[in-house]
Structure 1
């Protein structure tokens, strides 16, 4: 015979049985995945994008060139009339200037002709300057005249002032360079108007790309009224390409800026660039970039 238990007692027995049954432990939570480290940004064309974009698209760029050449033109005839006026640094004036034909001396690249398309190609490809590609660009003869320079040089030529171009384009690029200048309406008196890298100057040893020997050559034939360039080496020899050396080279001639010497902007390349990494082009690009960042001021 079965024994019937009171309902309350049956409930207690049932609860006791449930409590003795082991419960299944919950599965351990899976650790959250570690987020992937962001990829290191790729250094592209030495961060030259903004510089090239500014050179090609900013109206401020064009205005600087216009005001420079217009200001120079307004002063040119007064300089010609002053027999004692000469724009060559003392070390390059190796022959008396008195009685010589007046001249203006201009660098070519980023002073007279705009090579920003070549720089844009480097930005797009991620490459760096090399002589073969640069020579190929020069042979295209497609560089455009920069704002104001055609009017200024034509004005000079009209008033009997020789226009001389001293460039660090290689001498064997002379014909292509002269053709490019002529296409853009710049006055070219003849082959002697272009003194490229490698021009032989008797009794003068050219160091690297310095232009001192070529300025000395000009001093035998011309009284230089004005010089134009986008690098200080276009005006004077720089003995040490570092901040101190560059300042020292310019110190004696600061009063000539805007009267005899006219400097133009070039944020894309130039001697200022290697001066930031001890002129060591053998250093990897990332190392050069690191040293450039170290040169910045943050306060």
Structure 2
């Protein structure tokens, strides 16, 4: 979600014709700053593949959760201090589909956070396919559900209103954690862990799963996947989101002050061509 017309100024900083082995033209840098997001948003909104992936992931998560709960119940019988089980989920692009906001940004050539507050106030986000079925199944397994989002506190009422329109379980102040003084989710997960045994974390951003990904560079982010690999699909459930996320921020070295031209150049430089 980054916009405002890309100017020709980038051409003064980079030679037309080749950037990290990728050829590009002057016209490419005169498009909307959201041009790079058109196909990813199309894929997210229209592809059968995305819907299939989302349902598949939640179906598998439901099966894994059922197996986890069988093991937990057996272990809890031997543990007088056992805590109730909890699933912790992100909200955006994990439970709620905000792609219409991204599409609006593309067509209006605006930058985040322009339009974002208005979108939340509309409270009209649809559900990610498979999410509700999973959540209702978790509820039947007597698993507490916590929603941990980096939406600001001021959006609490509208967020709850949107989620209640879909009759989702555990949508109340006790089970919704909003952004505090940091986007890091570890501290809020730790708060939940004081009273619950978190058996599953679900999100579209690797930061939703573990703080080892927080502010990590591109190379480290990929290496850190190996650290949780044995628990992927079991404790850690990763959903797809090609539209935005910390993977994109890592491309810009987590420098939001970069100009749109500089971000465009970073995107080209990060590409890994065949030769």
TM category, shorter: 0.7 to 0.9
Match among 64, 76, 79 for residue 75 of structure 1? 64
1:45-76 residue CA offsets vs partner (Å, 9 max, x unmatched): 33111111111110111000000011111121
Query: What corresponds to 2:216 in structure 1?
Result: 241
Q: Contact (CA 8 Å) 1:118, 1:134: kept in 2 or not?
A: yes
Report matched runs for 1:4-19 at 5 Å: none
Match among 200, 206, 210 for residue 232 of structure 1? 206
Query: What corresponds to 2:33 in structure 1?
Result: 45
Query: What corresponds to 2:43 in structure 1?
Result: 54
Q: Mark the CA change 1:286 to 1:84 in structure 2 (over 3 Å): closer, same or farther.
A: farther
For structure 2, the 5+ residue unaligned runs are: 1-24
Query: What corresponds to 2:16 in structure 1?
Result: none
Q: Contact (CA 8 Å) 1:154, 1:187: kept in 2 or not?
A: yes
Distance 1:128 1:289 in 2: 14
Question: Secondary structure of 2:86's partner?
Answer: strand
Q: Contact (CA 8 Å) 2:41, 2:103: kept in 1 or not?
A: yes
Q: Mark the CA change 1:220 to 1:39 in structure 2 (over 3 Å): closer, same or farther.
A: closer
Q: Contact (CA 8 Å) 1:105, 1:226: kept in 2 or not?
A: yes
Distance 2:47 2:80 in 1: 40
Distance 1:102 1:179 in 2: 26
Shift of 1:185: 2.5
Question: Secondary structure of 2:157's partner?
Answer: helix
Report matched runs for 1:155-234 at 5 Å: 155-198=137-180, 208-234=182-208
1:250-276 residue CA offsets vs partner (Å, 9 max, x unmatched): 332111111111101111110000211
Q: Contact (CA 8 Å) 2:105, 2:115: kept in 1 or not?
A: no
Q: Contact (CA 8 Å) 1:236, 1:249: kept in 2 or not?
A: no
Match among 268, 271, 275 for residue 293 of structure 1? 268
Q: Aligned pair count?
A: 244
